[in-house]
Structure 1
């Protein structure tokens, strides 16, 4: 654990923090220790425990609390270090990577892979695999005595019966099911819940859960309540989920209940609520686990990287051993901060703990090496991923295709695709389209698309979306429009991923008003909210124009959609005022209210739009 925290100290930072003491310093930038031309590293773990106050709780106070650290110990020198759309996309993958195991009592909960984490597993779509949140839940609840639903099995009869009924008639369908003498076993319920979660029909899953309890068809246990809580958070929001916790019998308000709530707070990027739930868990004397710490790390990776070191210090003091996901998250954060040396140190620390990098970890490393211009290191990792025989190591293909494309290796993309081409898996087809798109080989991408389309009577929407993104990247508006028409004709469900691709298609074509119109219509459907990156694509374009009115409008609509304020949003908003050469009254107060604090570069921009700033001329006039 000490090696992990040491590796997390940026080598370019020559100061160190003395912990989480609440004492205030007049100048937070003053170094207590400064070692010239050397990396600052604690020589002994005892030093930290001797001079640091244990971090027992997290507080959302003014930045003064964060600045109490004599040095910045985060994995990134700035909270918003890389603000290209790349990081947002990546987060979509991490966010579900390690989400709580919430189960469905009822479905015996859930399913998947962190986050989503995972530096770039695909975005979730209706066809995507269930999120970790769900996977872990389902595993946690799937024990031999209760029946375990197969992830790849056929849909349950109960699921089919509910799906055959109108969306608002779930209760009627269930009443009919019972009247016809059908069995409502835990196994059947579990399979139905799993099916609903897999395709993200959380509303119907919630109706099923509520009906089961109301009709006394199922004796609820801890995991059933956790599953219901998870569904309420997804369908009705955090506030309703919090209220539901109070209705759960005290004997069932376990750690699982609170970590389920914590994970949903993190997924919503609601730092204030997440910290409140964490503190509540401490008050209830629940043990601090790797899962809980990973949730905090995931949260701070998005909203305030300087606090990552606080979590690592907490893990060290509480003797919480980092998991594979912990390392993946930290390695990815280092990579996003362009700290390749720190990333490599973390890998070594990981190996020293007996944890070997898996396929996904290697994919993260290769991607960051490629982005950092270290092509030889990236290629070496890719060769490791391939193994001795790619045909025997077929599972690596879906990861290799986009990574070789990232390096501009068209021959290797073709070589890997040839291994898959005769009997390609769906994920491999998606990866191939993406890879050929990156290489600007549009015809090859279209050929893979058509081949895949012909194999599906009802093609998944993800197939259309990935090609649509290729068209968007090359401003092929006409082809994009034709593809959307084909998609609609095929009966595909159009969701957030498709909206995102459409918005970016029109943004790239310079048709910002059309992109904004699509976004507004998508938001009004009230089924699934548009992606964060969709809003930012439109907001960025308005900001570039210096269109303050519409930039503020998109900012407000993001709030209405449920997105909490992020550094990135204020950064774009401030840029709109700068480009318009207009003062922004009260902007600092707005940021402070949302617990967003400016970086050095943003502070400079804020100075440019300060209505009360002093200049040489204003001083003379005064």
Structure 2
């Protein structure tokens, strides 16, 4: 238990209740690990953890990420010089390759889930998205997920799932009414396995219909975890506010922490800071604060507002909440992304002193950050530890090893690991190998792995094509990218946000930002889905580099309309547009304040540059 006392730092309210913002505490072990290498000039702070996270400029503007399809990037290109008529024709040709096939329209009409690449938008480090989503899924859904996982491990199949998937055009209720008439029994275990199977396929609409049917037919009594599952599905299919409304309809005896933490996890997954903080504050009033809830905020702030991490850690110390392995995983990643290797290692030592050993995700994170910092020996030592004595027995680590060895430039190790997988590769191994060979500029090897993967899949989806498409984009191979898109359409694949992101990058990298802009706009109109943040950013950065203020402002406005507000990164790009156009940006600070943003050191420097273009009132009158 951490000892408490009043510290010398007075923290300003940052959107959480006073329970977080006015906590005072002594520097604990985790705080000490988080703080050794910072000196921000604050008057004798007691908790150096707070010095680092609250005051250090490193955390005010950190955007490092190693995952290529989610990271914000800056590109260098210039549009072609064709006439407007020719260009419009080319744009139509370019986008016609990803028109929505008729079968997708039918699937949408049936109410089924059609987006096979529902990538959560956020600037995550490689491997975070899937791992964090699974962490939320397991912790929030509890027994339902555990029962399904246990049966899957034993090789069990779900007759209920088979029935649902065999009639994709029919509502689940009709399918299961007939299924029951045929003499099948509806049990908690069968429903749990079916629910997990549908979730793994991202058929959330079907899963929600299944949940509604089970409750309406009263085949068995709903438990707390069944209600939590419904909340999770409503949030995914109908939105956070509908999920919040549903909580009030749950019997009061089941309206407990699991229900609210499921809602909180979905708010965090949606990167909705305001709603996440509202739900967290409500939970504080209703229940004792759990480490799960604190971890959710840490995860959110890691992505969007790292200076608030200190507030959560203060609260954890005040409430004597012991960090879990997932807590350390988040903090280690924050340290690594800030390139604070000493601090990262100190966190690991503290974690071990608490009796916790690094899991696979933490080991992979450490190796990635060592590689990014140029500490190859340390990175390779961890990779060898992950691999163990027999890579065949430790196949689960292959996809992680492939990517990290590629970041180290180790063609030989990538080849060795892939050879161990090649005879019977899993999809995630193939995806990792494609990315690895692409990073090593061995395009033919990436293409060979892709062909092998597609051959083994019954129906490859757009997310599988997007992996190779990103490789082509990274190497400015526009013609190959267009051919790949034609191949995807011919195979019945459909484009979603991740595919759009790869296409945007493909055209931007090829120097055709107008085409990228057009493709994204048309895709949004066709499917009414929200593009990834990085798709907008790639286009905005390019317009900014060219000093095209009109186009940059247009993209900036679309980002805000899509819900990407309260982020400082787009403002930085927009300022670059004004600087490159040598034009003053009047009222810029006021615009930022409207989104509750305060200029950081980088933005302040950009504002100073753009301020030099201001003219005197007399000069403006003469103009």
Shorter-normalised TM range: 0.7 to 0.9
Residue by residue over 1:587-606, the C-alpha shift from the partner in whole angstroms, topping out at 9 and shown as x without a partner, is 32332232222211202223
Give the one of 33, 58, 68 matched to 1:7. Answer: 33
Which whole-Å CA distance do the structure 2 matches of 1:404 and 1:467 have between them?
19
- Give the direction of change, closer, same or farther, for the CA distance of 1:569–1:245 in structure 2 (3 Å limit): farther
Residue by residue over 1:237-270, the C-alpha shift from the partner in whole angstroms, topping out at 9 and shown as x without a partner, is 2222222222223222111111111111111222
Which whole-Å CA distance do the structure 1 matches of 2:577 and 2:64 have between them?
17
| 8 Å CA contact 2:64, 2:337 repeated in 1 | no
Superposed displacement of residue 408, structure 1: 1.0
- What's the counterpart of residue 524 of structure 1? 525
- What's the counterpart of residue 375 of structure 1? 376
How many residues in Structure 1 have an aligned counterpart in Structure 2? 548
Give the one of 167, 183, 199 matched to 1:197. Answer: 199
Where do 1:404-553 residues align within 5 Å?
Answer: 404-526=405-527, 528-553=529-554
| 8 Å CA contact 1:266, 1:295 repeated in 2 | yes
Q: Give the SS at the match of 2:451.
A: helix
Residue by residue over 1:465-518, the C-alpha shift from the partner in whole angstroms, topping out at 9 and shown as x without a partner, is 211111110010111111112122222343332222122111111121222222
Give the one of 121, 141, 145 matched to 2:144. Answer: 141
Which whole-Å CA distance do the structure 2 matches of 1:152 and 1:527 have between them?
40
- Give the direction of change, closer, same or farther, for the CA distance of 1:187–1:603 in structure 2 (3 Å limit): same
| 8 Å CA contact 2:504, 2:516 repeated in 1 | yes
* 159-168 or 312-321, which deviates more: 159-168
After TM superposition, the runs of 4+ consecutive aligned structure 1 residues lying more than 6 A away are 114-118, 611-619
Which whole-Å CA distance do the structure 2 matches of 1:149 and 1:521 have between them?
44
- What's the counterpart of residue 228 of structure 1? 230
TM-score normalized by the length of structure 2: 0.79
Where do 1:377-392 residues align within 5 Å?
Answer: 377-392=378-393
Where do 1:70-469 residues align within 5 Å?
Answer: 71=51, 73-74=53-54, 77-83=57-63, 86=66, 119-121=125-127, 131-142=134-145, 149-150=151-152, 153=155, 156-165=158-167, 169-284=171-286, 286-469=287-470
Q: Which has the higher helix share?
A: 2
| 8 Å CA contact 2:121, 2:532 repeated in 1 | no
Which whole-Å CA distance do the structure 1 matches of 2:68 and 2:618 have between them?
43
- Give the direction of change, closer, same or farther, for the CA distance of 1:200–1:561 in structure 2 (3 Å limit): farther
- Give the direction of change, closer, same or farther, for the CA distance of 1:560–1:618 in structure 2 (3 Å limit): closer
Q: Give the SS at the match of 1:368.
A: helix
Runs of 5+ consecutive residues of structure 2 not aligned to the other structure: 3-27, 73-119
- What's the counterpart of residue 63 of structure 1? none
- What's the counterpart of residue 101 of structure 2? none
Which whole-Å CA distance do the structure 2 matches of 1:562 and 1:161 have between them?
38
Q: Give the SS at the match of 1:256.
A: helix
Which whole-Å CA distance do the structure 1 matches of 2:252 and 2:584 have between them?
53
Superposed displacement of residue 393, structure 1: 3.1
Which whole-Å CA distance do the structure 2 matches of 1:499 and 1:423 have between them?
30
| 8 Å CA contact 2:583, 2:613 repeated in 1 | no
Which whole-Å CA distance do the structure 2 matches of 1:420 and 1:87 have between them?
22
- Give the direction of change, closer, same or farther, for the CA distance of 1:241–1:457 in structure 2 (3 Å limit): closer
- What's the counterpart of residue 111 of structure 1? none
Which whole-Å CA distance do the structure 2 matches of 1:91 and 1:503 have between them?
13
Which whole-Å CA distance do the structure 2 matches of 1:617 and 1:79 have between them?
42
Superposed displacement of residue 295, structure 1: 0.7
Which whole-Å CA distance do the structure 1 matches of 2:383 and 2:618 have between them?
60
| Larger RCO: 1 or 2 (CA < 8 Å, sep 6+) | 2
- What's the counterpart of residue 554 of structure 1? 555
Superposed displacement of residue 296, structure 1: 0.9
Where do 1:37-56 residues align within 5 Å?
Answer: none
Give the one of 22, 26, 32 matched to 2:43. Answer: 32
- What's the counterpart of residue 11 of structure 2? none
Q: Give the SS at the match of 1:365.
A: helix
- Give the direction of change, closer, same or farther, for the CA distance of 1:535–1:427 in structure 2 (3 Å limit): same
Residue by residue over 1:75-125, the C-alpha shift from the partner in whole angstroms, topping out at 9 and shown as x without a partner, is 963445333564785789xxxxxxxxxxxxxxxxxxxxx99998422766x
* 564-573 or 152-161, which deviates more: 152-161
- Give the direction of change, closer, same or farther, for the CA distance of 1:225–1:404 in structure 2 (3 Å limit): same
| 8 Å CA contact 2:388, 2:394 repeated in 1 | yes
| 8 Å CA contact 1:91, 1:115 repeated in 2 | no
Superposed displacement of residue 389, structure 1: 3.5
- Give the direction of change, closer, same or farther, for the CA distance of 1:166–1:557 in structure 2 (3 Å limit): farther
Q: Give the SS at the match of 2:57.
A: coil
State the superposition RMSD in angstroms: 3.4
Q: Give the SS at the match of 1:606.
A: helix
Superposed displacement of residue 173, structure 1: 3.3
